[in-house]
Amino acid sequence: MARAQQLMSEQHWTRGAAAVATLTFDVDAETPILVEGRHYADQPMVMSHQSYGPDVGVPRILDLLDLMAVPATFFVPGWVAEQRPGLARSIVDRGHEVAHHSYSHRPPTSLPAGGERADFERALDVFAAQDIEIAGHRAAMWSASRETLGLVAEYGLAYDSSLMGDDRPYLVDSAHGPVAELPVHWSLDDWEQYAYLPEPRIGSVIESPVKVEQMWRAELDGMRHYGCLFNVCMHPFLTGRPGRIMALRNLIGYAKECGDVTFARCRDVAAWARADAQTPTRPLPTYDVDPAVYPN
């Protein structure tokens, strides 16, 4: 490779790969259920369904990541880290990243004025008390508000991973400076494939891991063609189950066999995107909506 091409590869956010894969795990545990109503805390079936994630799924996932020698990012709500004081440290000590995923897992768009800031800061306090360095953020339910990225920048975090404006990293300006956005999409979320509870109703279909693996392989192939970020979102209480984690193992093996996919933590991809002069800046979508046309 000519020196100019090599330099371009070193400066480009993909670092010369056809696609970059970020394996991300949202360690929500009990929080999505408590958001639906704290009375569910008295229902052992429901709560054990969720506690399976940090108690069984996370250790199993960490072992798989060790076996496959790939890094990952774990988005952890502050409440979950607080309830299980050694959890975040166990992830970091295995070479992975822990990132901010709110405190309570209440969507920012559902909170009253000042509520998002209070929730955001409370999570940061938990991680600071546990000596966990935080570089990035993902909004609960991906429901970022118009204030979210400003909070991310204000508190010195480098990136967010909640928006869907591209399939490659991009920058978003905020009142406190630019934020690297690592975009997500529902097609790469295991919640849409596996989540099911009768009450509270969090999903209605349990798909085969074989189908999910096939679907994600197809998406990875497309992203290798277009030079994208394969930012897959998984939940330990879902993907941590045996048949599903075997599908993930197969997917990782396939990506490694391709020979042109780089696995990275989100914080590293964000740093590469910030260093790449070609990374585009995209504004938050803003619309002047006529109430006569859209009254609600």
Q: Which backbone phi and psi does 156 adopt, to 5 degrees?
A: 80, 15
Average pLDDT of span 174-198: 96
Radius of gyration of the chain (CA): 19
> Closest Cα to residue 157, out of 98, 91, 77, 109?
98
What is the tens place of the pLDDT at every residue in 255-265? 999 999 999 99
What is the tens place of the pLDDT at every residue in 144-169? 999 999 999 999 999 999 999 999 99
Q: Residue 142 pLDDT > 60, yes or no?
A: yes
pLDDT of residue 165: 97
What is the tens place of the pLDDT at every residue in 201-245? 888 889 999 999 999 999 999 999 999 999 999 999 999 999 999
To the nearest whole percent, how much of the chain has pLDDT over 70?
Answer: 97
CATH class name, domain 16-275: alpha beta
Q: Residue 176, exposed/middle/buried by CB under 10 A (0-12, 13-18, 19+)?
A: middle
pLDDT of residue 62: 98
pLDDT of residue 287: 93
d(CA 43, CA 48): 9
CA distance from start to end of the chain:
57
What is the tens place of the pLDDT at every residue in 21-33? 999 999 999 999 9
pLDDT of residue 8: 53
pLDDT of residue 204: 83
Q: Are 236 and 57 in contact (CB under 8 A)?
A: yes
pLDDT of residue 1: 42
> Closest Cα to residue 77, out of 51, 106, 53?
106
Beta bridge partners of residue 262, listed in sequence order: 20
What is the tens place of the pLDDT at every residue in 42-53? 999 999 999 999
Average pLDDT of span 97-111: 97
Question: One-letter amino acid identity for 192?
Answer: E
Model pTM score: 0.95
Kind and range of the H or E element at 201?
A: none
Q: How confident is the model at residue 7 (pLDDT cuts 50, 70, 90)?
A: very low
pLDDT of residue 205: 86
The domain ranges of the chain are: 16-275
> Closest Cα to residue 269, out of 122, 75, 73?
73
